[in-house]
Amino acid sequence: MASNAVMEETLQVLKDHKLRVTPQRHIILAYLVSHHNHPTVETIRDALSKELPNIGASTIYNTLNTFVDHHLVVELQNGDGSTHYDYFGSPHYHAICTNCGRIVDVTYPGFSETEKSLEEKTAEISGYMISGNHMEVYGLCPECQIKLGIKKND
């Protein structure tokens, strides 16, 4: 279960975004804030089965779509057919395993400059009024490298 501090924080986030505070929204957001596992709707439903035993799948979809609209949450695909969700509290991007689908967070000093530069150049060239970006990197996670018997430098 989410800590008291997380519950306070998420309550404030909902209020800041002028979103109606329902138990479902509060609990889902608290779950996302305290878990960086990039869950699917099913994963969330299972994880919250104690706190919200009767929640409908549509409510989870509605809630997550609302969070996405408010840029609280981002959507990710890893090739397994379902959408993964991620609370976007601090800027980062993702490395996605092409073998097992594992998604890990990545950032580095200077990443936000890279981002900003990409957006500025894109605006200049395309004429789009930029509102955001997604960067993803694909490859084999360390575990799959071992599992598949692949040598790094050879």
Question: Where along the sequence are the contacts to Mn ion (CB under 5 A)?
Answer: 86, 105
Q: Which of a copy of itself, DNA, Zn ion, none does residue 66 bind (CB under 5 to 8 Å by kind)?
A: DNA
| 118-147 binders of a copy of itself (CB under 8 A) | 118-119, 121-123, 125-142, 145
Exposure on the CB side of residue 116, measured as CA atoms within 13 A:
4
In angstroms, give the least distance from the CB of 147 to Zn ion: 8
In sequence order, the 6+-apart residues with CB closer than 8 A to the CB of 139 are: 95, 96, 97, 98
CB 44 within 8 A of CB 28: yes
Binder of a copy of itself out of 12, 77, 82, 112 (CB under 8 A):
77
Task: State the pairing for strand pair 93-97/103-106.
Answer: antiparallel
User: Binding partner of residue 123 among DNA, Mn ion, a copy of itself, none, CB under 5 to 8 Å per kind?
Assistant: a copy of itself
Cβ 37 to DNA shortest distance, Å:
15
The alpha helices in 17-110, defined as continuous H runs, are 23-34, 41-47, 57-69
The interface with Zn ion within residues 117-146 (CB under 5 A) comprises: 141, 144
Nearest to 31 by CA among 10, 13, 15: 10
Q: Among residues 105 and 124, whose Cβ is nearest to Mn ion?
A: 105
How far is it, in rounded angstroms, from Cα 67 to Cα 61? 10
Helix (H, G, I), strand (E, B) or coil at 96: strand
Number of residues that bind Zn ion (CB under 5 A): 6
Chosen residue from 6, 11, 100, 104 binding Zn ion by CB under 5 A: 100
**Residue ranges that bind DNA, judged by CB under 7 A:** 19-25, 40-42, 52, 54-59, 61-63, 65-66, 81-83
